A and B are shown apart, each in its own frame.
With several copies, the nearest count.
Chain A
């Protein structure tokens, strides 16, 4: 039975307690005394609303990743990509509930790792006592899932599914919480006023560096590089789905960045516009770059450019002006094209969707951009006197903030690269990281899941008896 409904229906006399409590709590004291019945929304409830709504949007990014990744890979692996995107969230959520959150935000740990045994299993036994905590967990779990899912695209079309499941478990239970603790959970980088507002480094770089380690260890897809070192093209199978994915991701990013205020304050609007502008500039930057370099404006790279702009603005979104946001996005759009080419052609690392360039390289760029374009006068709208950044290089603040940012970028890179490499190596020698040559040729849909993504030929003949 639903509160408002009942009320309207008049069929019942009993009200929902919650509704009454809310109403009472919300009436200012004097108004109450004066017999006034107008109730107001508590700020705390508004904060919970905001965290949840933003979290819903970030959750929806899973669909965006799934579409981008499947669009840019071959039809014979489409079901596998769907499974991976579904399971990295599902396994990751359970892992983050069981232990990850305690390691990231537990107040009894140190500056390297958090700990709080009451947060294991989200303190399931005392459920409902801390609604603000619940909202916070929700918002964090969708971020953890984003970090996890980045690897899916980079290692697509060759990774053994069982290894991917274990990987999902490990990144959400251990890897992401650790660096997350450093910067957001009260750890050592956060204490230095490193600014990574919504997670260019904490979320995107972590996922991307893990992807980098994985890509190196697993090697390129069969046929990607010829014997003579020639780079072969393995086009994706559905560009409209890839584009749909980018629109969904952009939509979700409006939860990702503005939501990272964590409280419902006026400042969310500035974050929303820096986000929109950087993404637009990223798209334009990538398009123009491909236009000049390849003589035609390329869709797939422009899609990457849009995402690059979004990743790059993720750290500085609440510290820079709209003008700076445009510049940061433009640079990201240019950067992502060259980065993709260098990684593919020079380093011969096979990343089918450009995840390392989008999330890693531009995660780093965005984090450093705080040290270049950051303005204390803007940052302080969101932070306190002692926690706000100093002005960036281009705003006369010298190199201090840039140094802090660089330290964050480098230490997260070093830590994640090493740990992820170890993790994938472990998986390689236990459950097998890569499918066999035949399985890869057949496609992961058939070899790993026993079915096809588009089984249409059949439906006309085999089965219509």
Chain B
């Protein structure tokens, strides 16, 4: 099992969710985060002083998937989240060693 961590533009969440649903991934955990990268933040003005807000609002999605599905899931996410403009985000894949479903105590791929 792998943990896919995708950082995307907030307004793409729904599309990513739907794309994942199509390939049978029906669980995920979403966090509101701030991202910093090549996409430069904007300048804000407050009481006459300009200042740069480097951190832009992003959404982070954690999705645990079976190994076989990783490639497909990444592709789906990448497609759905893409606008082609800077700041679209990244996808990282981390190994997962164990998984447990709290409700039933099931383990491994059963959990998903």
Contact = CB atoms under 8 A, between A and B. Distances in A.
Do A and B contact each other directly (Cβ–Cβ < 8 Å)? yes
Interface of A: 231-233, 235-236, 290, 293-294, 296, 298, 300-301, 337, 340-341, 344-345, 354, 441-442, 446, 449-452, 455, 457-458, 460-465
A253 B13 CA distance: 43
A282 B51 CA distance: 26
B94 interface: no
16 contacts: A298-B47, A340-B47, A441-B11, A442-B42, A446-B42, A446-B44, A451-B45, A455-B46, A457-B34, A458-B55, A460-B57, A461-B10, A461-B11, A462-B14, A465-B14, A465-B15
B14 A450 contact: no
B29 interface: no
Given A457-B32, A462-B53, A294 B10 contact: no
Interface in B1-36: 10-11, 13-15, 32, 34
Given A457-B32, A457-B34, A457-B55, A233 B13 contact: no
The prevalent SS among residues of B at the interface is strand
A354 B53 contact: no
Interface of B: 10-11, 13-15, 32, 34, 42-51, 53-55, 57, 59
A462 B51 CA distance: 10
A296 B45 contact: yes
A235 B46 contact: yes
Contacts of A235: 44, 46
A265 B2 CA distance: 79
Nearest to A452: B44
B42 A461 contact: no
The 10 closest A-B pairs by CB, nearest first: A461-B13, A450-B45, A233-B51, A464-B11, A460-B10, A235-B46, A294-B45, A233-B46, A233-B49, A341-B48
Contacts of A460: 10-11, 13, 32, 57, 59
A294 B50 contact: yes
Contacts of B32: 457, 460
Nearest to A461: B13
A451 B46 CA distance: 6
B11 A301 contact: no
A462 B34 CA distance: 12
A341 to B, nearest CB: 5
A446 B46 CA distance: 11
Nearest to A223: B11
B66 to A, nearest CB: 26
A458 B59 CA distance: 12
B56 to A, nearest CB: 10
B96 to A, nearest CB: 25
A231 B49 contact: yes
